[in-house]
Structure 1
Amino acid sequence: VEAVEAVEAVEAVEAVEAAEAAEVVAVDAPDTAETVEAGTNACGERETCAVAGFDVELEWPPHAPTDDLVPIDAQFGIVDPDWAGAIVDYRELVTRAQRAPTPDGLLIRGVMPGWDEEGAQAGQGRVFVNASPEAYRRWLSAAADDAAANPVAGERLVFVNAWNDWLNGAYLEPDRRHGYAYLHATRAALAMPLPSAKLALLSHDAHPHGAQYLALNLVRELKRMHQDVEVLMQGEGLLEPSFEALAPVHRLYQMDEAELLAFAQGLRHSGVDAVIANTTVSGRMIAPFREAGLRVVSLIHELPGLIAQYCLEPALHELVESSDHVVISSQAVREGMATLLPPDALTGKMVLRPQGLFTRSRYRGLHDLSAPRVELRRKLGIAEDALVVLSVGYADRRKGLDLLAQAAAIACASEPGLHVVWVGHHEAEVKEEVDAFLQQAGIADRFHFAGLDFDTDDYYAGADVYALASREDPFPSVVLESLSVGTPVVAFAGTGGGADLIEGRAGIAVPAFDLEGYAQALLSVCRDLELRTAYAEAGRKLVDSEFSFRCYALDLLELLGRDVPRVSAIVPNHNYAHYLQQRLSGLSSQTLPLTEILVLDDASTDDSIAVLRELRGQCHPEPVLVRNERNSGSVFRQWLAGVRQASGEFVWIAEADDDVKPEMIETLANAMRADASVVMAYCQSEQIDSEGGVLADDYTAYTDDLSPERWRAAYTATGAEEALHGLAVKNTVPNVSAVLFRRDALLQVLEAHEQEIVSYRVAGDWIVYLRLLALGRIHFEPRTLNSHRRHATSVTAALDLQRHYDEVLSAQALARELYPLEPETIAAAADYAQRLRAYFGLEAEE
């Protein structure tokens, strides 16, 4: 509108100036070209491109070029024999507009929401039928695309006729029939995604160590979440090809100071507006990026000992000074920072956030770990019943290689079947020292150095216990990798976040550097199956509930200024093993990345658990499996269990046998973010059979008796309005998989009315919707983005028909109790119940 007004204002001024400078010229020229030529001669030459001589053409009225459209009067029962008008299909006009060729000259496209001339030209007007907000959206979208491709004087202009031409039925202004549907359609047609800003990740080098693996996996996760990422490398390393396989890599270590500053400024101009600076070492190169105007979020993992060892104090101060936010990985790091920084250095900046588990073990979720146990012992060449202590990482003094060797000597003396394996590179001097000690202790053949091995799944899952022997370790990812597959951890207390995490929950924290106590703790876990099993179960639950890498990445994006809606997908499953691959693939393919996937298996007797365990490593984010040993007796109890566990702002109850289009969740989440009063948003669903064949393109045949128009356009309504228009008559939301809920509101309803809801077998979802909409509004998206699978032997089809009928009556009664209804709605509900009773073949009620 502003663009149009600006153009009109400029043209008006130019017209006045031209009129003042020229005489009025009377032209007797019915030919348009002659008229324009006369005007041009009088007012001065302007750039003319059209044959007729005009600078720009405007399609007005938008329906003008329709004389050749075939009238469809015969389809209607016209009773006035003198009627001389014409009835035309609006949809044909939209199709023509969508296929319109590019004009030779400058053209402003015209669009109209509808047209009916009978008000102004009674008995002889043109009437366009089948106009709808959705058809108008398609027309406007095509016109907007044309305007973008063919701007006029640098502006992208579209003419819409009209805001409020009520006389001719051409109006966008809200009314009682369509509500805000035409305005929603206008927004949808014009909402072109802005190019998203890029972000960069700064890694201090590419050596195969913990912090570098975190950086690599963070890039991978951000790419999965559709973020445009570039990598800044301060030093070289073996992982450089792995980074390059994911994103562009810029080698800062090849630049001098002037080149670095110029690069940072160029990076900002290329669209990068934020940088994640991983580790304290990044402080050595962060200043140019801050100076270039990039937002900086730094990740600090180091404890004071390592910072002092590598003289990183100046880098730490520079990093904190340049950062908008400083993410601290553990309480131990936080306490260490307090000893190295001024008291207020982190005020308003510090965020305490462990990084989450970024690895994917093929054994995660399995309780039978006999296969990796056998494979690990085969790989080491030891007995199948040997006890194995594992440690992974760079073998140096900080990681406690020497301490573990001494504790191993003590433990091996009392347990002949005990073996220790260390996976990873080593520091030569420390390794030489430890080798000499092991030879002297007589256990060199029982302490195995496996070297660098990128496939560590068999090690973690096949070991009896993980030995974290570090003198200091801020928050080692190896602890999470161990706990995720049920391997308990033994650590020295007070040495970092890993020891703090497992103490009393998933392992044993021994007083710092008590080697005798450490050896006994290793033996206790190895020998006591009951203790090991308890720690294993606690460790798995801890990782599943608190250490999602997807949530960690989302937290960083939020700190970087990216507002990504948090959506938890809840997948209730019972004996749908054969649909799970398609279902989980659809969840992973959402254009809005999901926060978490919670699969709730209700004691399936098919291969569901085996299939889920096989598929979970292929899904993003990795699903959390919650299994009931006994069937809950109601899918609505599973709803409640899932919503309670969910962490997202929104929840999606994605039934295991349904399917989805990639853009569904993004579409619904955006609508709910735009209106905080909306507690549920849903889209149109197609109906498919058990094999995936389409039974119906949508559910409009089901809702047409309520309104042939309401479910063909987007709308937002209050609970009272929704009940009035149909939800008090029948369940107008046929499939919960098509719905996105606001979690807090849904949880409130499920907890407050649990017993009522679970008493229903068919209409429980309808009861939820009725009660939920007493708390807020509903939004409907007319695009078919969900596929509802209809089974011939579904719960609904096999139910006692009388009970089904009674539940419908009960839901209708609840609607009357909750909302004020018009007599017409109450009558429609009674009529629907009567028709349903007849369809079920039930005897008429007395």
Structure 2
Amino acid sequence: MSPADFSPLAADAARLHEATALAELQRSGLFDAHHYRSENPDVAERGLDPLLHYHRHGWREGRRPNPYFDPAFYLAENLDARTAGIDPLLHYHTIGEAEGRRPILIFDPAWYRARWNVPPEEGALAHFLARRRSGETSPIAEFDSRWYLETYPDVAAAGMDPVEHYMVQGFRENRNPSAGFDGRFYRQRYLRGDPEANPLLHYLRHRDEPGIHPTPPGDETSLPREMRRNTRPGPFFEEVQPIPAGLAPLARVLAFYLPQFHACAENDAWWGKGFTEWTNLHRALPRFSGHYQPRIPRDLGHYTLEGSAVLRRQIALAKGAGLGGFVFYYYWFNRRRLLDRPVEALLADQTLDFPFCLMWANENWTRRWDGMEREVLIAQDYREADEGALIASFARHFADPRYIRLAGRPLLFIYRAAQIPGGAATIARWRALFQSAHGENPLLVMAQSFGEEDPRPLGLDGAVEFPPHKLTAGLTPINPKLDLFDTDFTAEVYDYEALAKNSLAAPPPDFPLIKTAIPGWDNDARREGQGLVVQGATPARYQAWLERLIEAARARPFAGTALVCVNAWNEWTEAAYLEPDVHFGAAFLNATGRAIAGLAQPSTPTALVLVGHDALSHGAQHLLLHLGRYLARVCGVQLTFLLGESGPLEGEYGKVAPILITRDEASFAAALRGLYHGKGVRRAIVNTAAAAAHCPELVRQGITPILLIHELPQLIREKQLQEAAKAAVRVAHQVVFPAAFVRDRFATLAPLPPERARILPQGLYQDIRFSPEARRRLRRGLGLGPEAVLAVAVGYGDLRKGFDLFLQVWRALRRRGRHVHLAWLGRVDRQIATYLDPEIAAAKVSLTAHFPGFCDNVAEWLSAADALLLPSREDPYPSVMLEAAAAGLPIIAFAGSGGAAEFITARAAGEVVPFADADAMARALVARTRALPSRAERLRRAAAAAQASPFGDYAEALLQLACPELLGISVVVPNYDYGRFLPARLAAIFSQTYPVREVILLDDASRDDSIAIAEATAAAWQRDLRIVRAGENSGSVFAQWRRAAELARGDFLWIAEADDSAEPRFLERLAAALAAAPDPILGFTDSAAIDAADRVLWPHYRAYYAASAGPGALAADDVFTADGFARRFLAERNLILNASAVVWRRTALLGALARADDLADYRLAGDWRLYLEALAGAAGGSVAYVAAALNRHRRHDASVTAGTPRRRHLAEIRALHRLAARRLGGGKILRARQEAVLRDIAEALGGKGQGSVEE
């Protein structure tokens, strides 16, 4: 062949090669002609073929064939492509993508293919380009398209490609590419704040270099980070939780009240115009790591005490916390008063119904805030000529009916009593003036401050602690341990717990002393790093301190009153306040209330954290919300929600329990530390594979998780959660699946031991019922007659939910000539809607397909429908399936799509058809709706289905898995006309630290307003109370007991009589004793005896036990054999003195009730009869006893005992003696002891008639 012939052949080969390349690029999906024309108007203007232009010239000129391929970048990164001189896009398509080469910095083909499960025959970049505007997929791990669209709805509304928006405009607007990337932080730290520098691109280029972080490192501390942490809700945050009505305070607690929150002429002159306490607050800063400053008020804001509006709100908060009054600082200088508006507003308005008293702040005012301590602003001169006016000023306040009096005497505190000239003589002169001029004899109490502690030399009635004065004595500052930000910091810092221990360890003095607690102390706002800080206060530590002070005050009352003070209500610039702030919320206020009312801290052995990935309004999030709601309202579990992101359901979560949002690993770990140490959390329920990544950190923090898996492998792979799921399974205590299908499929992804895999179908949490009225109304709106058939499908309309298969079912019905209506309830995916638009339009035109979009009335649609379709390709255990069954609908689902097939088969709830077979689904629908059920039959089906899926069983089973040591305890309150006692009785039950299975009020046809009171009390406590009301009075306590045992679902039963009460840890302590006892029949605690007014008659019954059964009897916790207990404590007397102190094994009580056929013969001693029946002569079993007096036994003057004739009283005891002798043996010795006891009782009844313990 000659050279002349070669040239045409070469040209042909080149043309063929080019044609092949162009065809390959055309098929690849990588060339976007529209993009190329719009970005290169010269090509469009000249009418050139865009692909041909790109292939011949464009790539050499750096022109992009699509937004995600950069020829210059690709050639710079790939030497072989550059030296080959070929089209880089073709190289990428044929070679580069398979080898994981990037077409642009922001697309990772290897990661993308694995993350989004791209089919092998499809290119990763082509797959993304087809979906880039939908937000369904992300090009790299560092960019979260879905998060971007949800976080920036303006981008979503514009239909823009989220990545393109960020790269062009978003980064300049300080928008973040994902929740895990902080663009502001990154730009400031690494890009010198350059607004034109793209933080994400810089990070992708330098991510492997030391010190490069996408967000502030969790272990770094800085003043700005401390400020950010301190000005947001923290792990101990609580909303205001007033003490429910019905709880009597254990002591009277007063809070010191600072009035310096209104302007006055003197402060204007001394400190500047408009000065109030708030003026200094902004000066506070975190001076070291962990230093809680600044303090920002929340509920009341930066208020001004002009008028009474703020004071009214403060009183409402204080009353809700059970406080017994305010102690107003009173400023009186030589007949001149300052800062008097709050107390004058109080005096002027009797509707401000709250007790108060005064503390005379009698020291000179100086400039000590700004270091000028010797400059006196206003002096206290103690002129004798002014004494009458001073005493009259105090007496004017004493005359107010709200002024606090103890033993009839007004209470007056004096701040610096030692500064009063003349000391005791002056005080005596003032007392005489009080008496002669005003007829008053006040209790004069000095504050222990500045080294002055003993009131006796001054002739005063007592002292009040005024911490931190005196409590820092002997303590070593912790300054050497601090990580300082402020190198000029000279303040002394003390540990809060050490201060509290100092307070509690101090021996009682020989004079009356009122103890005081502080919720914290830090005067940085006044002294700016040169004052005193008490570091480490938490609500739990404060409550524990206050509880101990209340306990001490009850043992050593002041003037006949158990009295404690708190410093202070509102000392904001000294960080000593109970008013809610931004960081803790009302946690310290609530802790005060719990201490006053004797309620436990929100730290119990069964405190739980419920972990979810966000608060969006989707199925898994609703499940977690309802789980929390049930556990809190029905069982009384102390909960905290821990979520990775916020969302529309956040408010609903917050109504159930405290909620913490932790968007990164560092904040999640910090929150766990707070929950572990502050609330005693040791167990967690982690909801969904999306939250599974938290399981290892939970375990590291000492919290045992159980993991709920709702997802199938396909979705887990799509969300790239495989590794997190595998790590979670390795550490989770139990892994819970809704169906065996889900478990088995998950096992292909992350195998787990069978003993740690549990099948637990979720229950129905919605109140779904078939409503004929809703059926008529909705069908009328659709134009459907009563005979028309309507089937519905529910969910987000995408391929996973089978929206396309739903349309195929509609077409199959049309082909079969069936006039069946279908409705899809839910939004349809935008991309799916675009592809299927012609089919959707045809279905709409037919008037037999309905697409109402998102519906908040799904229950009404289910009533209107005749069947539920589940066309999903993958749906683990859809909630709508339970809802449809509860509405009486048959369900039709595909085999192999999830747990629906198990549900339908097990309950005969519909039909399962071959996977993705739309024709089979259509046929099944026709067959199932050929004959529609009657209204009565549909109601019957609905009721049966609802009863078969109780959500309570599911929630309780999860609680048992999370806390396997829990006993299932039901609480039943038998009641007849005891409405006046129900608030306190129910409060004692609702405040138990131990979760219960249920609380039931068993009302025996009360004539009073017991039902309304019980309902109001339960509502106040936000607890569920099942009320069972008898039509007529049974006339028998034990008929009520039998009914209680039959109604209860728990293994154990506490019959809590309506007029008795209990300490918060009654069940906790008794349950622990029962759990430790072998085969327990019952357990009980000692009791304190109280009268009708809640006054303690006897703190315990130990003396009676010792007198009846010998020294040491029931003096310590113990476990007895059933028969042994009966011999020692029931054969002669009944030493279980109050039935409310007992928790029964329910089956044991039922058995005793069934065997004791003579129970109706006993008016007085029926409980003794039952104890003997259950225990005497028992072959096994035990009795658990707790010696602490945790039950409160109310003893009435007109008791059953007192009203029982002497003869009958003795006859019942004789009968029980005979029964005990028959069951226990014991012969003559036992009978002799019984006769002696009977004589003693007869003598007591014949003598006093009442007043003995046995009564």
Superposed CA deviations along residues 663-720 of structure 1, whole A, max 9, x for unmatched, are: 432343344346557632145376787xxx6699579899969949999966657456
**Pairing of 1:271-670 with structure 2 (within 5 A):** 272=676, 276-283=685-692, 295-307=704-716, 310=719, 312-342=721-751, 345-358=752-765, 361=767, 392-400=794-802, 424-429=826-831, 433=836, 435-436=840-841, 438-444=843-849, 447=850, 449=852, 451-453=854-856, 470-480=872-882, 487=888, 490-492=891-893, 494=895, 495-501=897-903, 503=905, 505=907, 507-511=909-913, 514-516=920-922, 518-519=924-925, 523=929, 527-544=933-950, 547-558=953-964, 563-571=965-973, 587-597=989-999, 622=1024, 639=1041, 643=1045, 648-654=1050-1056, 662-670=1064-1072
Among all aligned residue pairs of Structure 1 and Structure 2, give the percentage whose two residues are the same amino acid. 30
The letter for the 2-side match of 1:337 is F
Name the CA shift for 1:338/1:738 in 2 (closer, same or farther; >3 Å): same
Match of 1:741 in 2: 1144
Query: Match for residue 1084 of structure 2?
Result: 681
Unaligned stretches of 5+ in structure 1? 1-97, 112-136, 144-190, 841-846
Say yes or no: does 1:207 pair with 2:610.
no
State the distance in 1 between where 2:974 and 2:963 align: 29
**CA deviation map 1:351-394 (0-9, x unaligned):** 333344555x4x88xxx967877887799898999998666543
**Is the 8 Å Cα contact of residues 602 and 638 (structure 2) preserved in structure 1?**
no
Cα gap change, 1:831/1:470 in structure 2, threshold over 3 Å: closer, same or farther?
A: farther
SS of residue matched to 2:615: coil
Structure 2: gaps spanning 5 or more residues: 1-462, 475-501, 509-549, 557-599, 677-681, 1250-1255
Give the distance between the partners of 2:931 and 2:1096, measured in 1 at CA: 59
Q: Deviations over 1:554-574 (max 9, x none)?
A: 42244xxxx544322245678
Question: Match of 1:535, as an amino acid?
Answer: R
Equivalence for 1:130? none
Amino acid in structure 2 at the alignment position of 1:490? I
Mark the CA change 1:248 to 1:634 in structure 2 (over 3 Å): closer, same or farther.
closer
CA distance in 2, matches of 1:628, 1:100: 55
Kindly report which structure 2 residues correspond to 1:694-713, keeping only aligned pairs within 5 A, or say none: 707=1107
State the Cα deviation string for residues 719-758 of structure 1 (Å, max 9, x = none). 567656764455554653332124464455456x265657
Pair 1:297–1:649, CA change in 2 (3 A): same
Change (3 A) 1:579 1:197: closer
The Cα offsets for residues 11-39 of structure 1, whole Å up to 9 and x where unpaired, read as xxxxxxxxxxxxxxxxxxxxxxxxxxxxx
Q: 1:330 Cα deviation (Å)?
A: 1.9
How do 1:37-76 and structure 2 match up within 5 A? none
Q: Residue 231 of structure 1 corresponds to which residue in structure 2?
A: 642
Q: Secondary structure at the match of 1:436?
A: helix
C-alpha distance in structure 2 between counterparts of 1:468 and 1:611, whole Å: 46
What's the secondary structure of 1:337's corresponding residue? Answer: helix
Instruction: Render the CA deviation track for 1:491-547: whole Å, top value 9, x for unaligned.
Output: 437554455346564843444564346435764896333432332332343234862
**1:584·1:619 contact (CA, 8 Å) conserved in 2?**
no
Q: What TM-score results when the alignment is normalised by the length of structure 2?
A: 0.42
8 Å contact from structure 2 (residues 606, 994) kept in 1: no
For the pair 1:249 / 2:660, whether they are aligned, the reply is yes
- How far did residue 770 of structure 1 move? 1.7
**Alpha carbons of 1:636 and 1:404: their partners in 2 closer, same or farther (altered >3 Å)?**
farther
Alpha-carbon distance in 2 for matches of 1:662, 1:593: 11
Question: d(CA) in 1 for partners of 2:668 and 2:697?
Answer: 6
Instruction: Please give the per-residue CA displacement for 1:135-182, whole angstroms capped at 9, x wherever unaligned.
Output: xx9789989xxxxxxxxxxxxxxxxxxxxxxxxxxxxxxxxxxxxxxx
Tell me the alpha carbon deviations over residues 570-626 of structure 1, each in whole angstroms, 9 at most, x when there is no partner: 456789999988766654332222133356688999999999999999887745678
In structure 2, what is the Cα distance between the partners aligned to 1:375 and 1:579? 47
Give the match's secondary structure for 2:1067. helix
Structure 1 residues 813 and 799 mapped into 2: Cα distance closer, same or farther (>3 Å)?
same
Aligned to 1:817: 1222
Counterpart position of 2:362: none
CA contact (8 A) 2:976 2:1004 kept: yes
Say if 1:825 and 1:311 are closer, same or farther in 2 by CA, change over 3 A.
Answer: same
Native 8 Å contact 1:317 1:341 kept in 2: yes
Equivalent position of 2:1238 in the other structure: 829
Q: Which amino acid aligns with 2:1217?
A: Q
Equivalent position amino acid for 2:740 in 1: Q
Q: Do 2:1139 and 2:1167's aligned partners in 1 also have CA atoms closer than 8 Å? A: yes
* Matched residue SS, 2:949: helix
Amino acid corresponding to residue 214 of structure 1 in structure 2: L
Aligned pairs, number? 646
* Contact 1:703/1:732, CA 8 A, preserved across alignment: no
Q: Is the 8 A contact 1:551 1:595 kept in 2?
A: no
Q: Paired residue for 1:21? A: none
Judged with a 3 Å threshold, the aligned counterparts in structure 2 of structure 1 residues 308 and 682 are, in CA distance, closer, same or farther, namely: same
2:738 and 2:760 in contact (8 A); partners too: yes
Preserved CA contact (<8 Å) 1:389 1:419:
yes
What is the match of residue 411 of structure 2? none
- Cα RMSD (Å): 6.1
1:80-136 deviation digits (Å, cap 9, x = unpaired) = xxxxxxxxxxxxxxxxxx99998977997789xxxxxxxxxxxxxxxxxxxxxxxxx
Other structure's SS at 2:1084 match: strand
Q: 1:443 to 1:596 in 2, by over 3 A?
A: same
Aligned partners of 2:910 and 2:795: how far apart in 1? 20
Is contact 1:729–1:832 with CA below 8 Å preserved after alignment?
no
For 1:62, the equivalent position in structure 2 comes to: none
Secondary structure class of the residue paired with 1:547: helix
Distance 1:498 1:472 in 2: 10
CA, structure 1 residues 264+458, in 2 after alignment: closer, same or farther (shift >3 Å)?
A: same
Structure 1 residue 333 displacement after superposition = 1.2
Instruction: Report how far residue 307 of structure 1 moved.
Output: 3.8
1:777 corresponds to 2:1180: no
SS of residue matched to 2:1144 = strand
Q: What is the rounded CA distance, in whole Å, between the counterparts of 2:1192 and 2:901 in structure 1?
A: 46
Cα distance in 2 for residues equivalent to 1:639 and 1:704:
27
Equivalent residue number for residue 172 of structure 1:
none
User: Residues 114-193 of structure 1: matches in 2 within 5 Å?
Assistant: none
Give the Cα–Cα distance (whole angstroms) in 2 for the partners of residues 223 and 726 of structure 1. 39
